[in-house]
Amino acid sequence: MDYSLNDEQLALQESFRKFCDNEIKPNADKLDKADHAEADKIMKQNFKKLAEFGYTGMCHEEKYGGSGKDLVTQCVAQEELARVCAATFLSVGGSLGLCGLPIAHFGTDAQKKKYLPKLISTDIIGSFGLTEPGAGSDAIGIKTTAEKKDDRYILNGSKTFISNGPIADIAVVMAVTGKPDEKGRNVSSFIVEKGMKGFSAGKHLDKMGYRGAPTSELFFDDCEVPTENLLGVENEGFIQAMKTLEYGRIGMATVALGIAVACMEESIKYAKERQQFGRPIGKFQMVGFKLSDMKVLTDVSRLLIYKAAWLKDTNSPEASTMASIAKLTASEASTQISSWAVQVHGGYGYMTEYPVERLYRDAKLGEIGEGTSEIQRLLIARDVLAKY
């Protein structure tokens, strides 16, 4: 048993925190409020900066330009980025994680060589297309089809809520290739490139939070994808997607934690400075105790995230349920904490000038993205009922 971070992790935490505070944080507010074109520009700059630091390669092998860090170490770094800019976290995670990881895990050597180095260097940006207008939590119900014709697949359908959709150069897309199957064994994944005939992205979708992270629909209109762009084996796409989402879940838990930590830090600062009735409001128990509960829930979230990541690093069969527990707990903690943070700030917290206003909007996605809280509870309960 060892609850401590090792020296390398501690050093990374410190240096990356400094980097994030200096390079990413100053633009976080601008990114949130800029128009889409301006936001996309800032986001791409953030991608480059993070590539230079080495953040974008942490989850990938050295031979493709990554640094192959274990998941616990990745989580340590991720929390720092999430703490200063959740939107950047989401966009980068969408490219390197949701798009990059399935390529790394299931792709051919040729596919890995072709795409991973460029994703890591951020010369290209990736996205992940599973969700559809009619298939959210019920992901098995996707309707986009891929029909094999000679040396290519013809894709038809559409995807929605796709992170990086408007700026992505490639997308890992799930489409139906087989007969209807209740376990999703009729879905395959494809690497679709921008410029392939019949592939287009919709306009930016306007969101409550994460406003700096571009999101759109993807359209496939007799879209032609060469057979060599099939990812892994035909009809294994759903399993690939679920395995990818296990990482996504830990990622979503971590971004929720980062938001919560930022809320706590802002609240502590404000509660010390703000004077009412002749003393700092933090001295009042109804304010101070909110801070205490923020601390409890951030500590709990972090431990669950580390535990889930460690289980994944050690290939434990319990990793999946723990990832759900971490995601559920951290995201619900995050919405609760962000609400308290606004409350602690009073009227100022309702003003867009104060970061907690953005954090409050950002936090909500945690309970929705990468599997809603309801889906996490179903998964956790299924595990309990199977075990006991």
Partner 1 sequence: MDFAFTDEQLAFREQVLKFSQNEIAPLSEEYDEKGEFCWEAWKKMGEFGLLGLHFPEEYGGAEADVVTSCMAAEALAEGGADGGLTLSWGAHTYLCADTVFVHGTPEQKEKYVSKLASGEWVGCMALTEPNAGSDAASVATTAVKKGDRYVLNGSKMFITNGPIADVCVVYASTDKEKRHMGISAFIVEKDYKGFGVSKTLKKMGVKTSTTAELFFDDCEVPEENVLGEIGNGFPMALQTLEWDRSALLAPFVGGMEFVLKECSRYAKEREQFGRPIAQFQAIQQKLADIKAFVEAARLLVYKVAWSKDQGKALNHMEAAVAKLFVGDWGMPAISEAVQLHGGYGYMHEYPVERVFRDTKLAQIGGGTSEIQRMIISRLLLA
For position 78 contacting partner 1 by CB under 8 A, the verdict is no
Which of 163, 161, 158 minimizes the C-alpha distance to 174?
158
In angstroms, what is the minimal distance from the CB of 175 to partner 1? 30
User: Following DSSP, what letter does each residue of 23-42 receive, concatenated?
Assistant: IIHHHHHHHHHS-HHHHHHH
For position 296 contacting partner 1 by CB under 8 A, the verdict is yes
In angstroms, what is the minimal distance from the CB of 281 to partner 1? 10
For position 11 contacting partner 1 by CB under 8 A, the verdict is no
Binding window for partner 1 (CB under 8 A); candidates: 82-90, 153-161, 236-244, 291-299: 291-299
Q: Which residue has the tokens 């179903």?
A: 378
Query: What residues from 229 to 268 belong to the interface with partner 1 (CB under 8 A)?
Result: 264, 268
Number of other CB atoms surrounding residue 318 within 10 Å: 15
Distance CA 59, CA 288 (A): 38
Which of 236, 255, 243 minimizes the C-alpha distance to 330?
255
Distance CA 252, CA 360 (A): 15
Number of residues that bind partner 1 (CB under 8 A): 49
In angstroms, the Cα distances linking 252 to 206, 220, 249, 290 are 20, 28, 5, 24
Binding window for partner 1 (CB under 8 A); candidates: 1-9, 148-156, 161-169, 190-198: 1-9
Find the binder of partner 1 among 307, 345, 358, 361 (CB under 8 A).
Answer: 307
Binding window for partner 1 (CB under 8 A); candidates: 239-247, 293-301, 349-357, 363-371: 293-301
For position 385 contacting partner 1 by CB under 8 A, the verdict is yes
Binding window for partner 1 (CB under 8 A); candidates: 31-39, 143-151, 235-243, 301-309: 301-309
Distance CA 247, CA 370 (A): 9
Query: What residues from 53 to 72 belong to the interface with partner 1 (CB under 8 A)?
Result: 72
User: By the 8 A CB rule, do 187 and 142 touch?
Assistant: yes
Number of other CB atoms surrounding residue 327 within 10 Å: 35
Tokens representing 345 are 């700030």
Strand partners, 231: 189
For position 364 contacting partner 1 by CB under 8 A, the verdict is no
Which of 143, 140, 146 minimizes the C-alpha distance to 181?
140
Which CB, 65 or 288, lies closer to partner 1?
288
- Give me the residues that bind partner 1 (CB under 8 A), please: 1-6, 9, 72, 264, 268, 271-272, 280, 282-283, 285, 288-289, 291-293, 295-296, 299-300, 303-304, 306-307, 309-311, 314, 322, 325, 328-329, 374, 376-378, 380-385, 387-388
